[in-house]
Amino acid sequence: MNKIEGKVALVTGGSRGIGAAVAVRLARQGADVVLTYENDEDSAASVVGRVEAAGRRGLAVRTDSADVDAVTGVVERTVEEFGGIDVLVNNAAVFHFAPLEELGPEEFDRTVAVNVRAPFVAARAAVPHMRGGGRIISIGSNMAERAAFPGFSLYAMSKTALVGLTKGLARELGPRGITVNLVHPGPTDTAANPADGPMADVIRSFTALGHYATADDIAATVSHLAGPDSRYTTGAVINVDGGFAA
């Protein structure tokens, strides 16, 4: 069920963490997968290996999401080399966690460039090539709904911006058969937020379930949104946060 056999997916920040889990899940559902990364070439290559082990084509492209031309370029390369693009997953993000006094225009600009402008630019480049049933799925954050700790101002701002982008694009692209949705993960065990990190016990105490998600818990919802079973879901913001926002 919910197969996406023969579809082409682009996953930004697919070399590690949630993005890697999404790339592998989509491949196991039948999609060919292009993934981007910023630095970690070895991890990116290993995810491509897992995509290929699932019997699908994989490609990793080093792409700084802050670079507009690079983001547009990886969408175009996906279309040229894979014959189209059906699923865009905007996952790559930066995380400047600091008090207001230590955050400046540079951190603001980089946060907006990677976390907000790149999803916009990628969607803009992908939409003309999306065949019927196109999917745009962005990864937000539990911090968009509940900025539970000091130091998250820029990050929370950027993830909240994705709510508006998602709803606006859903409304605009619905008539073209393209759905646009946003997934808000809660605390998820990745290098960015390890379940054994110094703040982990406090963070998990904010969830209803009392534990971290695995990256695959988030990927499960993304893969549902990528497939035909989600065809009537658009403009939705879906919390996969263990009850963090409950």
Report if residue 225 touches ligand NDP, rule: CB under 6 A: no
Q: Which is nearer to ligand NDP, 13 or 58 (CB)?
A: 13
From candidates 29, 78, 166, 188, binder to ligand NDP by CB under 6 A: 188
CA nearest neighbour of 65 among 12, 19, 106: 12
Could you say whether residue 239 binds ligand NDP (CB under 6 A)?
A: no
As measured in angstroms, the least distance from the Cβ of 206 to ligand NDP is: 12
Nearer to ligand NDP, 41 or 229 (CB): 41
> Angle, nearest 10°, between helix axes 68-82 and 118-126?
30
Among 9, 25, 61, 63, binds ligand NDP (CB under 6 A): 63
How many angstroms separate the CA atoms of 180 and 127, rounded?
11
Nearer to ligand NDP, 18 or 127 (CB): 18
Among 29, 142, 223, 239, binds ligand NDP (CB under 6 A): 142
Binding of ligand NDP at residue 45 (CB under 6 A)?
Answer: no
Q: How far apart are CA 229 and CA 44, in angstroms?
A: 29
Point out which span in 79-87, 89-97, 120-128, 229-237 binds ligand NDP (CB under 6 A): 89-97
B/e letters for 56-83, b = 16+ CB within 10 Å, e = fewer, are bebbbbebebbebebbbebbeebbeebe
- Residue 212 is among the residues annotated as catalytic for this protein: no
User: At closest approach, how far in Å is the CB of 175 from ligand NDP?
Assistant: 28
Identity of the residue, 133 or 245, whose beta carbon is nearer to ligand NDP in the bound complex? 245
Closest of 157, 41, 167 to residue 107, by C-alpha: 157
Number of residues forming the site for ligand NDP (CB under 6 A): 33
Catalytic residue numbers read 155
For ligand NDP, the binding residues (CB under 6 A) are 12-19, 36-40, 43, 63-66, 91-94, 114, 139, 141-142, 185, 187-188, 190-193
